[in-house]
Amino acid sequence: MKVYECCGVESVTKKVYCSTCRQEIKNEREVPDEGTVYSYTVIHIAPADYAHLAPYTVALVQLKDSTAKLTVRIQESVQIGDPVQLDQIADGTYIYQKVRTA
Amino acid sequence: MSVYVHSVSMTKFGNSENTSLKDLMLAASREALEEARELKIDAVFVGNYMGGSLANQEILGAIVANDLGLGPIPTAKLEGACASGGIALRQGILGILSGEYESVLVVGVEKMKHASTATVTQFINSAMDQTTNERYAGLTFPGFFGVVANRYFYETGANKSHLAKLALKNRENALQNPLAQFRKPATLEEIMNARMITDPLGLFDCSPITDGAAAVVLSRKPSDIKILASAQASGPTMMQDAIDLLSLPAIRISGQQAYEKAGVSPEDIDVVEIHDCFSMTEMLAIEELGFFPKLEGWLAIEQGKTCVNGEKPVNTSGGLLSRGHPIGATGVAQFYQLVLQLRGHAPNQLEKQPRLALAQNLGGTGSYSVVHILERV
């Protein structure tokens, strides 16, 4: 997972200029694909394109070793604080799953 | 130079099955113009979000000028998602303050009820950045505020019953408002057990799909209602970019700027209309506008402080949740309720006639916020 940084703000979204120093955002680094559920919702009423998936969980994941957060879809029910990891990237969607303990 | 409100109008909010977008817009405009007949209108600003996509109708400003015989005056449509109406008001105010216009008509309108919920949800999603992974994850607007609500519960002592209590307050206010969409009483139990939309938000936590229009005539010529401040700020266009998920910085900044311009503080405001697109949004907004401490809005709700007879009455119109939310009309309809409150004949009129009123209109995931402060003079 790539995160972009300037003036202490990290984001998974690449923007052009930093709103603090007004310079072009150039710092990027790789961080682990895993993290913890910062918050979530279960979407029962979906937009037309996603109606066939409902109900589905959308979670905001606090990425490990970064201050950046990532919006993902999860196919199972989760709680805040649950450790999660990347399952696959499909059609631009980060699909995450709970970390399984052996 | 100052700007004054000369007239306000709004149509009945709800289902206007047999009325076109154009006719809703003209009805509200006409009523506002009738009340301000002595003024010559120099420009028209229209607040509208989905005229093109849902009603296949643009050029709204030119239609108003043509059909209402306003002459070859300049017009424009303003879009800022659900803040379109507030932004149209602000552009009208700025046009007068620039010296270019003496009097302007601002009208907000939306026609949505004819489309299915899935279609409306899809088009409303265009108010989030559609090029990112967030869109592909299937996040929706109610979804965003559902994620916010679950985190709010996690960090405070609040739970779903606090959101339900807030929604019930707005429903009870709407019962007294003849122009509101929902005038059927509800109970706390009914709200708590309603169909889930985006966990933990149920049907009553989400503003409805609504048809409606509202209009205002503004002028530099004095009237009994003076605009003390107009402020606007921008915020994140994506959930994952929020530095603090429980903050909508655009509301905070536009509020602070408005207080500074007006030379007043949150304590001075007598009556408020807030953008409660979701119950959770009103909860954050009463904190961001400085009425209650951060993460303590739920305590104010618990104590009934935002009820009509409370210390800070919020959404005496019924708010977006129960008055209805015809997107482009919402910001203008907030003026309608506040001007009636200041003049002393509003639905849920405050016992002590208010002097200072604040309107806050939000667009997107906190992407736009507009705050206006009005004074009875």
> Is the minimum CB–CB distance between B1 and chain A shorter than 8 Å?
no
Structural domains counted in chain A? 1
> Is the minimum CB–CB distance between A68 and chain B shorter than 8 Å?
yes
pLDDT at residue B128, as a whole number: 87
B114-123, B214-223, B355-364 — which is least confidently predicted?
Answer: B114-123
Compute the mean pLDDT over every residue in chain B, rounded to the nearest whole number. Answer: 97
* A23-59 pLDDT, tens digit each: 999 999 999 999 999 999 999 998 888 999 999 999 9
Residue B108, classified by CB atoms within 10 Å of its CB into exposed (0-12), middle (13-18) or buried (19+), is buried
CB–CB contact A51 B138 (8 Å): no
In a domain, B65, yes or no: yes
* B158-172 pLDDT, tens digit each: 999 999 999 999 999
User: How confident is the model over B309-317, as a mean pLDDT?
Assistant: 98
In a domain, B280, yes or no: no
**Nearest CB partner across the interface for B142, out of A45, A60, A71:** A45
A90-94, B63-67, B73-77, B121-125 — which is least confidently predicted?
Answer: B121-125
Q: How distant is the alpha carbon of residue A15 from its chain centre?
A: 16
Residue B353, C-beta contacts closer than 8 angstroms, at least 6 positions apart = B342, B344, B376
Confidence of residue A102 (pLDDT cuts 50, 70, 90): low
Considering only alpha carbons, which residue of chain A is nearest residue B135?
A93
CB–CB contact A39 B151 (8 Å): yes
In a domain, B248, yes or no: no
pLDDT at residue B277, as a whole number: 98
Question: Do B219 and A39 touch, CB atoms closer than 8 A?
Answer: no
> Is the minimum CB–CB distance between B243 and chain A shorter than 8 Å?
yes
More confident residue, B336 or B125: B336
Contacts of B238 in chain A (CB under 8 A): 13, 71
Structural domains counted in chain B? 1
- CATH number of the CATH domain containing B100: 3.40.47.10
Contacts of B149 in chain A (CB under 8 A): 41
Question: Do B58 and B77 touch, CB atoms closer than 8 A?
Answer: yes
Q: What percent of chain B has pLDDT over 90?
A: 94
> Is the minimum CB–CB distance between B130 and chain A shorter than 8 Å?
no
Question: Do B262 and B372 touch, CB atoms closer than 8 A?
Answer: no
Give the C-alpha separation, B10 to B7, whole Å: 11
> Is the minimum CB–CB distance between A94 and chain B shorter than 8 Å?
yes
* DSSP letter (8 states) at residue B18: T
Residues of the domain holding A14: 2-98
Question: Do A97 and A74 touch, CB atoms closer than 8 A?
Answer: yes
**Nearest CB partner across the interface for B119, out of A41, A48, A53:** A48
B133-137, B143-147, B196-200, B338-342 — which is least confidently predicted?
Answer: B133-137
* β-sheet with B103-110: strand ranges across: B75-78, B43-47, B103-110, B212-219, B3-10, B225-234, B368-376, B356-363, B271-273
> Is the minimum CB–CB distance between B134 and chain A shorter than 8 Å?
yes
Give the C-alpha separation, B372 to B334, whole Å: 10
**Nearest CB partner across the interface for B139, out of A58, A68, A80:** A58
Confidence of residue A101 (pLDDT cuts 50, 70, 90): confident
Cα angle at B53 between B51 and B58, to 5 degrees? 40
* A52-87 pLDDT, tens digit each: 999 999 999 999 999 999 999 998 999 999 999 999
Give the C-alpha separation, A60 to A39, whole Å: 5
Among B168, B253, B181, B248, which Cα is nearest to B210's?
B181
Closest-CA distance of chain B to residue A100, Å: 22
- Please name the residues between 199 and 228 in chain B that touch chain A, using a CB distance below 8 Å: 199-201
pLDDT at residue A49, as a whole number: 86
Q: What percent of chain B has pLDDT over 70?
A: 100
* Residues of B annotated as part of the active site: 82, 325
In a domain, B340, yes or no: no
CB–CB contact A12 B121 (8 Å): no
CB–CB contact B118 A46 (8 Å): yes
Position B129 pLDDT exceeds 90: no
Query: Alpha-carbon Rg of chain B, whole angstroms?
Result: 19
Q: How far is CA B277 from CA A82, A98, B58, in A?
A: 29, 32, 25
Q: Is the interface score ipTM higher than 0.95?
A: yes
Position B376 pLDDT exceeds 70: yes
* B276-291 pLDDT, tens digit each: 999 999 999 999 999 9
> Is the minimum CB–CB distance between A86 and chain B shorter than 8 Å?
no
**End-to-end CA gap in chain B:** 15
Considering only alpha carbons, which residue of chain A is nearest residue B129?
A13
Position B218 pLDDT exceeds 80: yes
Q: How many CB pairs under 8 A join A and B?
A: 112
Residues of the domain holding B84: 3-115+210-219
CB–CB contact A11 B133 (8 Å): no
Q: How far is CA B301 from CA A72, B245, B266, B342, B348, in A?
A: 32, 21, 17, 24, 18
CB–CB contact B136 A13 (8 Å): no
More confident residue, B174 or B129: B174
